Amino acid sequence: MSSINEILAGHRFFRGVDPIFLRILNECAAMVDFEAGEIIFRQGHDAKRFYGLDRGRVALELHTPGNGTVVIETLGPGDIFGSSWLFPPYNYEWDARAVQDTRAVAFNAECLRDICEADHDLGYDLMKRFAGIMRNRLQMARLQCLDIYRLSDGSRL
Amino acid sequence: MPGYLQIVGRITAVTLVDTNLMVPVPFLVRRRFRETTDTVTLEMVPQQSQDRIDFSPGQFNMLYAFGIGEVPISISGDPARPETLMHTIRAVGAVSSALVRMKQGAMVGVRGAFGKGWPLHEACGKDVVLIGGGIGLAPLRPVIHHLLNNRKAFEGVTLLCGARTPRDIIFRRHLKRWQRRTDFQVEATVDAAGATWLGHVGVVTRLVAHLDSHPSNTIAMVCGPEVMMRFAVWELLQWGLAPDRIFLSLERNMKCGTGVCGHCQFGPVFVCTEGPVVSFECIEPWFHRREV
């Protein structure tokens, strides 16, 4: 089994992070496993952890009364989730469910915030990475809202 | 037989147009498969066997619904089986809707095959990534047949396909069959789904970041709504793929199919003859221009 350090070093989100930072981040990290179907967290609950997915698939979902559960997005190896650790009041905004047997590196949110406050270089590096992910997800969410397949008037395609 | 002399686009070239390409050949609808609520695949055979159409993956035909009109539709069948012609059609306008309504035994006029197909020769020995959105999977199906028929000639083969919802995915039976293969990675994603859907949720372009192959030995073939293709190109470039390794199937207003009428002009390219498949490098300066 790979160590947390090895997993972080090979993880897309942490690619290129200074090895010294990785060692510091490692202090807040633990490996976690989820079985397919297991709920990882619920909307509104305290965002105590943030996750870097190593294996498997996770669905971010929303329960809609009368319509059941709607999947907003699925995430795979190399993705992160649980970014509510960054913003007060530190509550998860979606449900997260393991779609397949899943392995992830879980970071203690409080520990991570303390580290970022203590070492602004590390904190800035992390924030830049989060900002990139959020920008990308916003762009993808906009595309989903656009309903591009319905918009297309092409018949040849 | 050569027909009449004509001057093509850039004046410098004078070519002969085969008048046969301007006359629709009658094909009989032998079978009809409903793909989604608004999309069907028609399996057709020529009334006379010598009229069969040999084609390259990515080429298209002009399909004529008699008395209504003609539309360009990509060929979606197996190039190794040219005796049957497959077209997957989505009901969008009057002609495509008439074609979608056609039943077994109906007659369709066919002209073709037209255009340049996918770069199969260039793909030999490389990882091949196919990205299809919505009915954009249809022009990619002949490539998939070709890749699987000649599997050893290529390295990794990956298909990323997207649709609105699980019900809007075309070729579902084929996808299931392909997903069972160990030498073909198939990832399906939808924009919206309930909890029973076990595939990906999110736009298809997001799957690019998860590709296993290496950009230096990869070629990508992309087909779908133009907005999707723009983002697919962006993701592929971000991933590290060179512009000359990205191929797109363009959709424009094709009428004659022979580069005469000019309706399908896209910058310097006549999509019906120099496309529909073009490399991104070739059209990059025009790709984001609204006027084109």
Residues in chain A with CB shorter than 8 Å from the CB of B249 are 157
% of chain A at pLDDT higher than 90: 74
Q: How many CB atoms lie within 10 A of CB A72?
A: 19
Domain presence at residue A87: yes
Domain presence at residue A153: no
CA-based torsion, B146, B90, B274, B46: positive or negative = positive
DSSP reduced 3-state for B13:
strand
Nearest to B92 among A70, A147, A154 (CB): A154
DSSP reduced 3-state for B29:
strand
Given a contact cutoff of 8 angstroms between Cβ atoms, the answer to whether A27 and A69 are in contact is no
User: Does pLDDT of A2 surpass 70?
Assistant: no
Q: Give dist(CA B38, CA B35) in Å, integer.
A: 8
Query: What is the Cβ-side half-sphere exposure of residue A33, based on CA atoms within 13 angstroms?
Result: 3
Structure tokens at B72: 């360009």
Structure tokens at A3: 């160590």
Number of domains in chain A: 1
Strands of chain B, DSSP E: 2-8, 13-18, 25-36, 39-46, 60-65, 69-74, 85-90, 107-114, 127-133, 157-163, 185-190, 193-194, 200-201, 218-223, 246-249, 265-266, 269-270, 277-279
Cβ pair B224:A157 closer than 8 A? yes
Domain presence at residue A156: no
Given a contact cutoff of 8 angstroms between Cβ atoms, the answer to whether B220 and B242 are in contact is no
Going along chain B from its start, the domains and CATH numbers come out as 5-114 (2.40.30.10), 120-287 (3.40.50.80)
Structure tokens at B114: 């037209």
Q: Give dist(CA B201, CA B164) in Å, integer.
A: 10
Domain presence at residue A155: no
pLDDT tens sequence across B42-98: 999 999 888 889 999 999 999 999 999 999 999 999 999 999 999 999 999 999 999
| pLDDT at B196 (0 to 100) | 86
Domain presence at residue A157: no
Give the mean model confidence (pLDDT) for residues A120-147: 91
Q: Give dist(CA B252, CA B37) in Å, integer.
A: 24
Q: What is the DSSP string of A126-142?
A: HHHHHHHHHHHHHHHHH
| pLDDT at B260 (0 to 100) | 84
Q: Give dist(CA A62, CA A42) in Å, integer.
A: 9
Distances (CA, A) of B227 to A152, B64, B130, B223, B275: 9, 28, 17, 11, 18
Residues in chain A with CB shorter than 8 Å from the CB of B224 are 148-149, 152, 157
Q: Give dist(CA B200, CA B78) in Å, integer.
A: 27
Cβ pair A140:B202 closer than 8 A? yes
Complex confidence, ipTM: 0.84
| pLDDT at A151 (0 to 100) | 63
Q: What is the DSSP string of B126-163?
A: SEEEEEEEGGGGTTTHHHHHHHHHTGGGSS-EEEEEEE
Domain presence at residue A69: yes
Nearest to B163 among A57, A149, A154 (CB): A149
Distance in Å, alpha carbon of B12 to nearest chain A alpha carbon: 30
Q: What region, left, alpha or beta, does residue B69 occupy, with left being phi > 0 and alpha being psi -120 to 50 degrees?
A: left
CATH number at residue A10: 2.60.120.10
Cβ pair A148:B276 closer than 8 A? no
Domain presence at residue A154: no
Which residues, given as ranges, of chain B have pLDDT below 70?
A: 1-19
Given a contact cutoff of 8 angstroms between Cβ atoms, the answer to whether A143 and B227 are in contact is yes
Q: Give dist(CA B230, CA A142) in Å, integer.
A: 14
| pLDDT at B5 (0 to 100) | 40
A85 CB-near residues (< 8 Å, 6+ apart): A47, A48, A49, A50, A107, A109, A112, A113
B176 CB-near residues (< 8 Å, 6+ apart): none
Given a contact cutoff of 8 angstroms between Cβ atoms, the answer to whether B168 and B190 are in contact is yes
Q: Give dist(CA A50, CA A65) in Å, integer.
A: 27
Domain presence at residue A50: yes
| Domain enclosing residue A64, as ranges | 4-148
Distance in Å, alpha carbon of A57 to nearest chain B alpha carbon: 8
| pLDDT at B272 (0 to 100) | 87
